Each structure stands twice: as C-alpha cells, then as structure tokens.
Amino acid sequence: MTPAAPRPGPLRLVLGLTIAALAVPVLAGLWGTVTPALKPGALAALWDWPGLFPAARLSLVTGIGSTVVALAITLLILAGLRGTRAYAALIRLLSPLLSVPHAAAALGLAFLITPSGWIARALSPWATGWDTPPDLLLVNDPAGLALTFGLIAKEVPFLMLMALAALPQTDAARRITLAETLGYSRAMGFALTVLPALYRQLRLPVYAVLAYAMTTVDMAQILGPTLPPTLSVQITLWMTDPDLSGRPLAAAGALLQLALVIAALGFWRGAEVAARRTLRHLAEQGHRGAGLDRLAVALATLGAGTTTAALLAGLAGLALWSLAGLWPFPDILPEAYSLQTWTRAGPGVWQATAATAGLGLATALIALALVLGCLEAEQRFALRAGRTRLILWLPLLVPQIAFLPGLHALALATGTGGWAATLAAHLTFSLPYAFLSLAPAFRALDPRLAPLAASLGASPDRIFWTLRLPLLARPVLTAAAVAFAVSVGQYLPTLLMGGGRIETLTTEAVALSSGGNRRLIGAHALLQMALPALAFALATGLPALAFRRRRGMAP
C-alpha cells in the first residue's frame, strides 16, 4: 500500500537549480549570439562564402566518420577483447588517456605523422633515404583524414568509460555464455544479446561525441584542413576578426552549425533504427556468425592498438620535446637536452595550478551535489527522466562557439563576470558529463536495497548516506573526477567569463600553443594532464583502499 506522498522539499530545489545551471546559460547565450545572425545580410553573406559547402561537408564527414569508427572500435573491444590481458591493460590506461587535453593529443599526433615527424625520423635516412622531409600532405589533408583519426583516438577512451559504466546492467558475461552454448560466436552473441541493452545506455554519450566531433575547434585547428577549415574553425576565425565585421557572419555560421548538428543527430537516429532492424533480423534468422570472432579480435586489437599507441607515442614525443634542445631532422632523439622549458614555466605555474585546481574542485563538488540530488530525487519520487534528459544534453549538443559570445555579453550586461561567472560556465559543461558517468550506476543499484533498509527502520537520508553513497563510491568519485577534468579543460569559457584575468593551466597552454612551440606545448600538456590524472587515480584508488577487505566491492 502506498504511504502518504513524501514532501520533495529541498530536493525539488536541486532539480530546479540543475535545470537552471544547464539551460539558462545555453539559451541566454544562444539568444545573444543568434540574434545578430538574423540581421539582414548575415545569412546571405554566409551563403556567398565560397567555402561554405566544403566546410559544412567537412564538419559532417569528419564528425560522423570519426563517431562511427570510434563507436565501432569501442564495441569491438568489448566484444572481442573482454577478459584478455590487453583489455585489462587498456582499462588501466583509460584514465590517463582521458586526461590528455585535446589540443595536446592533436599536436602529439601531428608530430608523429607529419613528414618531419617521429615515424619518418625513425625510418630515415636508412630505410627511406630522406635527408630532408618529403613534401607529403599528411597533416591538414583536404579530406580531413588526419583530423578524423585524431578524433577517433580521443573519443574511444571516452566511449569506453561510458560503456564500462553501463556494462554491469547488461549481464554481459552470462548472456554471451548463453549465446555461445547455443552455438553463436562470441562476437555475434555480443551483438545480439548485449548490444541492444548496452546501446540504450550508450546512446546519449554517442550523441555527445558526435556533436563534439562536429564542432571541435582545437583539434580541427591543428589536424584539420585549412582550405577551407571546418565550419567551427571558420566561425572562430570570423568571431575573432579584428574589424568586427565578421560577427554577424560568425553568428550566421553558428546557426548553420547548430542546424548541421541537429541534422546529423537525425541521420544518426535513422541509422540506429536500421541497425536495430538488422540485428533483430539476424537474431530471428539465427545467424551464428561463425568465424566472426577472429575478425573481431583482429579489428579490435588493430583499432585499440593504433589509437592508444598513437596517443601515447604523441604524448611521449611532446614530453621529449619539453626536454629537448636542438632536435633537427632526421634525428630520432634530440641532439641536446635542456631543462630550460621547465624552469621557464617557473613560479607562474603554481599560481595557475592553484587556480585550475580550485575552480575544478568547486565545479566538481557542486556538480556532484546537483547530480546526486537529481538522481536521489528521481529514486525517491519515482520521477521519469525524459524531460530533464534533453536539458542535460543542451550544453553538449549546442556548439560552444554558438552560445559563449552571447553568454559573455550577458555576463557583462549584468555585471556578473569574474570567478562566480567562470564557475557557473564550468558547471554548465561539467554537469552533463558528471550526470552521464554517474546515472547508469546509480540507477542500476539493486532496487530492493532501499526498501530492505527502510524495513530495517532506516530513513531515506540514512539510506542515502550510509548505503547508496558508499556503495557507489567508485562511480561517485569517478563522476567527480570527470567533472573536474572537464573543468580543467575549459578554455573559451574561462577566457570570456573570467575577462582574461583568471589564468588556468589551460588558458596558459592554449595561449602558448598559439605559438606552435612544441617544447612549451609538451611541458604544458603534461602539467594540464597531471591534475585530471591525479583526480582519476584518486577516484579509483580511494574506494579500492577503503574497501580492500570487501570482495563484494571489487570493480
């Protein structure tokens, strides 16, 4: 029998605050940015830009292409490598890989594959006969292949993290075993029995990846083509045009960018339906997929191996550059070493580190409190997630460049710049990721635990603090680490909302990368990585330490 409806009280407030933190900045910023686009002539000027079609096509092709491949690699890893030593190694590498800043990943990759890069150096001149680098268009290629590869390498770890959070609810091991006893290959068993449940959890993260890939600026600036660049890069160029006449054009471009993202998401949904039908058909027809396993393992190893090796080698290259003196082609190692880059970074780094960590911690704590409040409210009052879910995705689906300038204007008009506004902007971007990484685990917690504890006399608050929170220690801390890492990575929001006066490791790093100096970029990439890597290490290490005597709490 139903007891009298509980009073939502403060938890309702948390829901409201969360929705406000997500929606207000985006909608207000969008309004401020898009209104100039509706000025007469702006859309026409955009239409007249000869690069419009190639740039839009590039955004679509690199965005959708990289998302398809990254998702495929993630699923192949789960289908083909689970339980192997390579899989365990990959899981351990996940946190450091996630902590690599996008710009650093791109620059590391560029150094790897460019004709004067590490791979060419390793083979020259003994194998290639090159004394000077060959004139080959490998980075910034017009088809955007280098950019697509970079995006894939950076997206696979994120999708893996999200899949790992969702996997326990799919009962994967038993379902696959069951399918195998029915004569299915492991890969086919995965596709037919686990994938449908898994993808339901993975869908929104995939959408976020798609939107990000289509709108990224920092990776596209480094790896993408330039004649023309992707639409998002071009919008940024217009936005920063000194004679200010580019603003309406940028606004119109941002509007188009938004439309493209929506169109791509629509296309993706259509593909989902087709894929689901195909899977159902395969299942009904009883395709065992004999021989698929070897292919899956081969492709998974290739995909995971290439992306991981590329990210790590790129990073190692940058780290080496940060210690390098002169390092001419085709030397595989620097001619001389020097600590100059690091000593130069000097005392300013500590200040920037403190600011970065402070902002990140505040962001993570608030984001965590709001996310936990929302999820707890959802549990206690049996709320449906539908409506809030879309709002959650707003900051991830609307291109940053489309609403940040408007948001900046709003902050100036209301006089709310500075730390508070910067924190609010960081929160807007961190919240969705924190929610995404925590919600599946929170919702997957055994639904009988709460009534059982209540029948033992525990109040809802006690159930939350003594059962849910400790039981979810790992996902809760991981969500905090994710929010922290997202905050650490913010460049444009920090620059705009902080009025340039808040100096974080990332604003430093991006300002320095504008010089293209590999030594500095290497040093700063490592510094920028250190904080999130520490956060991720704590998120896995602390629960492991606290529950080292509880086998039932092993991941």
Partner 1 sequence: MTAGLQIADLCVAHGPRQMVRLTADIAPGEVLTIMGPSGSGKSTLLAALTGTLDPAFQASGRITLNGREVTRLPTRQRRIGILFQDALLFPHLSVGGNLGFALPRGAPDRTARIDRALAEAGLAGFAPRDPATLSGGERARVALMRTLLADPEALLLDEPFSRLDAALRDQIRSFVLETARRHGLPVILVTHDGEDARAAGGSILSPMGAPVPAS
Partner 2 sequence: MQRRDFGRLVLASVLVPTFARQAKAADWDAVLAAAKGQTVWWHAWGGDPKINDFIAWVGTLAAERHGVTLEHVKLASTADAVAAVLAEQQAGKTTGGSVDLIWINGENFAAMKANGLLYGPFAESLPNWPLVDMSGKPALVTDFTLPTMGYESPWAMAQLVFEYDSARLPAPPADLAALRDWVLANPGRFTYPQPPDYLGVTFLKQVLYGTIADPERLQAPVDAASYAADTAGLWALLDQMHPALWRSAQAFPASEPAMGQLLADAEVDIAFAFNPGRASAEIAAGNLPDTIRTFTLAGGTIGNASFLAIPFNSSVKEGAQVITDLVLSPEVQARAQDPAVLGFQTVLNLAALTAQDRARFDALDLGAATLPPDRLGPALLEPHASWSVKLAEDWQARYGVAR
If the CB atoms of residues 137 and 173 are measured against partner 2, the closer one turns out to be 137
Does 452 interact with partner 1 (rule: CB under 8 A)?
A: yes
Does 226 interact with partner 2 (rule: CB under 8 A)?
A: yes
Does 91 interact with partner 1 (rule: CB under 8 A)?
A: no
**Burial tier of 420 (Cβ tally within 10 Å: 0-12, 13-18, 19+):** exposed
**Integer Cα distance of 164 and 474 in angstroms:** 12
| The amino acid at 511 | A
**Integer Cα distance of 98 and 95 in angstroms:** 5
Task: Report 515-554 residues binding partner 2 (CB under 8 A).
Answer: 515-520
State the minimum distance, in angstroms, from the CB of residue 548 to partner 1: 10
If the CB atoms of residues 3 and 50 are measured against partner 1, the closer one turns out to be 3
Q: What separation in angstroms does the CA of 337 have from each of 334, 388, 515, 524?
A: 7, 54, 21, 17
**Integer Cα distance of 42 and 403 in angstroms:** 17
Closest by Cα among 478, 531, 502, 355 to 91: 478
Phi, psi angles (nearest 5°) of residue 337: -115, 155
State the minimum distance, in angstroms, from the CB of residue 131 to partner 2: 8
142 binds, among partner 2, partner 1, none (CB under 5 to 8 A by kind): partner 2
Instruction: Single out the residue of 96, 196, 358, 470 in contact with partner 1 (rule: CB under 8 A).
Output: 470
State the minimum distance, in angstroms, from the CB of residue 518 to partner 2: 7
Instruction: Single out the residue of 35, 177, 240, 278 in contact with partner 2 (rule: CB under 8 A).
Output: 240
Residues contacting 113, CB < 8 A, separation 6+: 119, 138, 139, 146
459 binds, among partner 1, partner 2, none (CB under 5 to 8 A by kind): partner 1
Instruction: Single out the residue of 513, 525, 528, 529 in contact with partner 2 (rule: CB under 8 A).
Output: 513
**Integer Cα distance of 512 and 341 in angstroms:** 12
State the minimum distance, in angstroms, from the CB of residue 128 to partner 2: 14
Closest by Cα among 170, 197, 172 to 186: 172
State the minimum distance, in angstroms, from the CB of residue 258 to partner 2: 21
Contact track, partner 1, 533-552, x by CB under 8 A: --------------x-xxxx
**Burial tier of 523 (Cβ tally within 10 Å: 0-12, 13-18, 19+):** buried
Task: Report 106-135 residues binding partner 2 (CB under 8 A).
Answer: 114-116, 132-133, 135
Instruction: Single out the residue of 122, 454, 465, 501 in contact with partner 1 (rule: CB under 8 A).
Output: 454
Instruction: Single out the residue of 40, 242, 386, 457 in contact with partner 2 (rule: CB under 8 A).
Output: 242
Residue written as tokens 């001419």? 328
Contact track, partner 1, 265-294, x by CB under 8 A: ------------------------------
Contact track, partner 1, 371-410, x by CB under 8 A: -----------x----------------------------
Instruction: Single out the residue of 483, 508, 528, 539 in contact with partner 2 (rule: CB under 8 A).
Output: 508
**Integer Cα distance of 141 and 151 in angstroms:** 14
If the CB atoms of residues 378 and 508 are measured against partner 2, the closer one turns out to be 508
Contact track, partner 2, 153-172, x by CB under 8 A: --------------------
Closest by Cα among 142, 205, 266, 177 to 396: 205
State the minimum distance, in angstroms, from the CB of residue 230 to partner 1: 47
State the minimum distance, in angstroms, from the CB of residue 412 to partner 2: 4
State the minimum distance, in angstroms, from the CB of residue 107 to partner 2: 11
State the minimum distance, in angstroms, from the CB of residue 123 to partner 2: 15
Does 30 interact with partner 2 (rule: CB under 8 A)?
A: no
Distance between alpha carbon 267 and the CA centroid of its chain, in Å? 21
**Burial tier of 138 (Cβ tally within 10 Å: 0-12, 13-18, 19+):** middle
**Integer Cα distance of 90 and 100 in angstroms:** 15
Does 2 interact with partner 1 (rule: CB under 8 A)?
A: yes
Secondary structure of 127-142 in the HEC alphabet? CCCCCCCCCCCCCCCC
**Integer Cα distance of 353 and 531 in angstroms:** 8
State the minimum distance, in angstroms, from the CB of residue 20 to partner 2: 22
Phi, psi angles (nearest 5°) of residue 361: -65, -45
Instruction: Single out the residue of 241, 278, 350, 387 in contact with partner 2 (rule: CB under 8 A).
Output: 241
Does 228 interact with partner 2 (rule: CB under 8 A)?
A: yes
If the CB atoms of residues 196 and 470 are measured against partner 1, the closer one turns out to be 470
Pair 521, 513: CB distance under 8 Å: yes
Pair 522, 513: CB distance under 8 Å: no
State the minimum distance, in angstroms, from the CB of residue 514 to partner 2: 4
Give per-residue burial for 256-293: e unless 16+ CB within 10 Å, then b.
Answer: bbbebbeebbeebeeeeeeeeeeeeeebeeeebbeebb
Secondary structure of 402-440 in the HEC alphabet? HHHHHHHHHHHHHCCCCHHHHHHHHHHHHHHHHHHHHHH
Number of residues this chain uses to bind partner 1 (CB under 8 A): 29
Residues forming contacts to partner 2 in the complex (CB under 8 A) are 50-51, 54, 114-116, 132-133, 135, 137, 139-142, 221, 225-228, 237, 239-244, 325-326, 328-329, 336, 338, 340-341, 344, 348, 405, 408-409, 412-413, 415, 417, 495-496, 499-501, 503, 507-508, 510-520
Residues that bind partner 1 (CB under 8 A): 1-4, 6, 382, 446, 448-449, 451-459, 466-467, 470-471, 473, 547, 549-553
